[in-house]
Chain A
């Protein structure tokens, strides 16, 4: 069982470039999330998708867009990368219930913006 798979694992961009981070889960979860982790900090929520076809902003959405492609896949796009977006990005999924079920994380994407 792969769980939550993120690609790529590492990426270096120049300021102004764009890229899309991919996330896929095979646990049949309805809810998916994108977080960022900065040094010495906990994770902060960027965007989430409660179910296929819906997306909503989290705590730090500026500079990002997301797409819930289908039930399995949730992508995060940086349209014009900035050095402040240098971070480790985590995708997560959880069971569709209230309150949230246990969250399962991918291994992260380490992104550097020069």
Chain B
């Protein structure tokens, strides 16, 4: 199946810093989503971004599908940004044509220190 690699695995920053999280995938994708898992374990969908660039407040994401990577940017980090960030993809070549679920990377563990 498709492989998803995220980097860095761990990141510790001071409040106010900017960060870039990367997601590489081994084959073309039809669907890419970024999630934030907060310290309480809840998973929040941040972006649905199979290609192009999107922004939501201090967060933005870019997917370059032809080069098989996506980037998540966090600006002016706050302590509430701490948690694990997951990239997840779908490749229709490996699925039955839809609704077959996502393949997740192992995540980037982000700690924002006050």
A residues adjacent to B (C-beta < 8 A)? 30-31, 33, 35, 40-45, 48, 50-51, 56, 58-59, 88, 90, 94, 96-105, 107-108, 110
Q: How far is the CA of A74 from the CA of B106 in the complex (A)?
A: 26
Additional A-B contact list (6), CB under 8 Å, known A45-B101, A102-B33, A102-B48: A42-B86, A43-B88, A44-B104, A50-B98, A98-B30, A98-B98
Residues of B within 8 A of A108 (CB): 41-43
B residues adjacent to A (C-beta < 8 A)? 1, 4, 30-31, 33, 35, 41-45, 48, 50, 86, 88, 90, 92, 96-107
A88 to chain B, nearest CB (A): 7
In-complex Cβ contact of B106 among A42, A50, A90 (8 A)? A42
Give the dominant DSSP class at B's interface.
loop
Give the dominant DSSP class at A's interface.
loop
Q: How far is the CA of A48 from the CA of B103 in the complex (A)?
A: 13
Max count, chain B CB within 10 A of own CB: residue among A94, A100, A103: A100
Using A56-B96, A107-B41, A107-B42 as known contacts, say yes or no to A99 and B107 having CB atoms under 8 A apart. Answer: no
Q: How far is the CA of A43 from the CA of B84 in the complex (A)?
A: 12
Residues of B within 8 A of A100 (CB): 31, 90, 98-102
Residues of B within 8 A of A94 (CB): 99
In-complex Cβ contact of B50 among A31, A40, A45, A99 (8 A)? A99
- Residue of A with least CB distance to B48: A102
- Assess the B90–A99 pair: CB atoms within 8 A: yes
10 nearest interchain CB pairs? A42-B104, A98-B98, A50-B99, A99-B31, A99-B30, A45-B101, A105-B43, A102-B48, A31-B99, A43-B104
